[in-house]
Amino acid sequence: MTRAELLADDPIWLILIKAVVLLLLGALSTMAMIVLERKIVARMQHRPGPNRVGPGGWFQSIADAIKLPFKEQIIPDTADRKVYFLAPIMSTIPAFVAFSVIPFGPEVSIFGERTVLQLVDLPVGVLVVLACSSMGVYGIVLAGWASGSPYPLLGGLRSAAQVISYEIAMGLSIVAVILFSGSLSTGDIVDAQHGGWYFYLLIPSFVIYFISMVGETNRAPFDLPEAESELVGGFHTEYSSMKFALFFLAEYVNMVIVSAFCTTLFFGGYMAPWPISLIDHNYFNTGWWPLLWFFGKTAVFLFVFIWLRGTLPRMRYDQFMKLGWKVLVPANLVWILLVVAQRAIRNEAEISTNTILVTGGIVLLVLIGLAFLLPERTAPGSDGPVVPVTGGGYPVPPLDLQVPTKADLKPRTRRRREKAAVGAGADKEAQQ
């Protein structure tokens, strides 16, 4: 039986068990990620992390989960209450829905019932994950707008621009995977990687997807919607108690989703990694073993998220948008053209697919590197780069802006201002 047929025969009790496990997986992975992130970043920065609650501080997330719902809930007077309450829910629910199409393992037996470790296998599973990741930004934008404060609004607008930019790059990076697997089903994509994982066959697609998934989840160095140095706390500045916890939950669940999706698309999903697959391919790729390989690969990407946060500084906003629109999207389009050309050449000539893909990927990466190394355009007679006053670059005021002095004013204007100043001084003395 195929994967879809096995899932279609699942009884209702088994479907409910899978749904509950996925809900628990999102919540438990968030609690584990929070304490692990605090401990790992502390170790990277040579300082103690959480070490008071529980043995070694490992119960810190449990204490936070108990504390947040009981904190005082403060709602601004200027907030739109209905949208204010709806925003964190809109950010959290799509993150959990995306778990439903991720294949965690092959065919297994649960209480005597043959099934697949996946809730549902849709023919357009890839699009479901992309749609769920895009829906989360609506909650962020609505949270910023409904708070009735300028700083959350700025954070929400930044997030909208960020997701639009990097969602395009992420979607284009998956096109090559779809062309090679011949399907939009996540299960079929995993099965298509038995001959070779796509992370080295489609190197540019993997690199672009990895950069895009960090930008998509608003994580450092791309955490521009929060940007504490200039936006206080970002889109959730006016949130507290359980609503703030829901935004926190959505961020970490999205990290798990994009990491699991990357494992599915480029690292063979639940298939055993290279050294172990040489021992006994059939034994380690059947039963419950693949569940271990899947979560192990996902954990590596989650560690990289933490590593980036403890290593890289936040990017400037214009640099961030330049990377998305001027580097990732054009590189994606060129790479898709090379993949389509490869398929046409393979049908006409006897050249291996791997040779064409690896060669094209190396050429594309070299071109991207040269684009970064090229000097910026400079103005005639100047040594610095051209930074236009409007329309791009770092936002600075016009360099030729001159504030008129007293001598530059017309005599009539000067006399009028002097009379106004004298009158204001007289009124102040009378008030005193």
> What is the tens place of the pLDDT at every residue in 126-155?
999 988 888 888 888 888 889 888 888 888
DSSP label of 55:
G
Domain for residue 66, yes or no? no
Domain for residue 341, yes or no? yes
Based on the number of CB atoms within 10 Å of its own CB, is 259 exposed (0-12), middle (13-18) or buried (19 or more)?
buried
Q: Which residues pair with 114 in a beta bridge?
A: 109
Q: Which residues pair with 113 in a beta bridge?
A: 110
Q: How far is CA 104 from CA 191, 212, 288, 336, 371, in A?
A: 12, 23, 10, 28, 39
Q: Pseudo-torsion of CA 394, 397, 398, 402, nearest 10°?
A: -160
Using an 8 Å Cβ cutoff, are 174 and 265 in contact? yes
Domain for residue 180, yes or no? yes
| Mean pLDDT over the full length of the chain | 81
All residue ranges of the chain with pLDDT < 50 are 379, 382, 387-392, 394, 397, 401
Q: What is the pLDDT of residues 275-310, one digit of tens each?
A: 787 777 677 888 888 999 999 999 999 999 999 988
Q: What is the pLDDT of residues 334-388, one digit of tens each?
A: 888 888 887 777 766 666 666 666 666 676 677 666 666 555 555 455 455 554 4
**Which ranges of 53-115 would DSSP assign to H, the alpha helix?**
60-67, 81-97
Domain for residue 378, yes or no? no
Q: Is 378 helix (H, G, I), strand (E, B) or coil?
A: strand
Q: Closest by alpha carbon to 140, among 235, 239, 230?
A: 235
Confidence (pLDDT) at 354 = 65
Using an 8 Å Cβ cutoff, are 274 and 281 in contact? no
Which helix or strand (DSSP H or E) is residue 107 part of? strand 107-110
Domain for residue 334, yes or no? yes
Confidence (pLDDT) at 379 = 46
The structural domain count of the chain equals 1
Using an 8 Å Cβ cutoff, are 387 and 378 in contact? no
Confidence (pLDDT) at 410 = 54
Domain for residue 410, yes or no? no
Q: Determine the structural domain holding residue 250 and report its residue range.
A: 71-105+122-273+280-373
Domain for residue 1, yes or no? no
Which helix or strand (DSSP H or E) is residue 157 part of? helix 150-173
Single pTM value for the model: 0.79
Structure token digits, residue 347: 């049908």
Confidence (pLDDT) at 260 = 93
Domain for residue 147, yes or no? yes
Using an 8 Å Cβ cutoff, are 197 and 265 in contact? no
Q: Is 2 helix (H, G, I), strand (E, B) or coil?
A: coil
For residues 366 and 334, give the distance between their C-alpha atoms in angstroms, rounded to a whole number: 13
Confidence (pLDDT) at 197 = 87
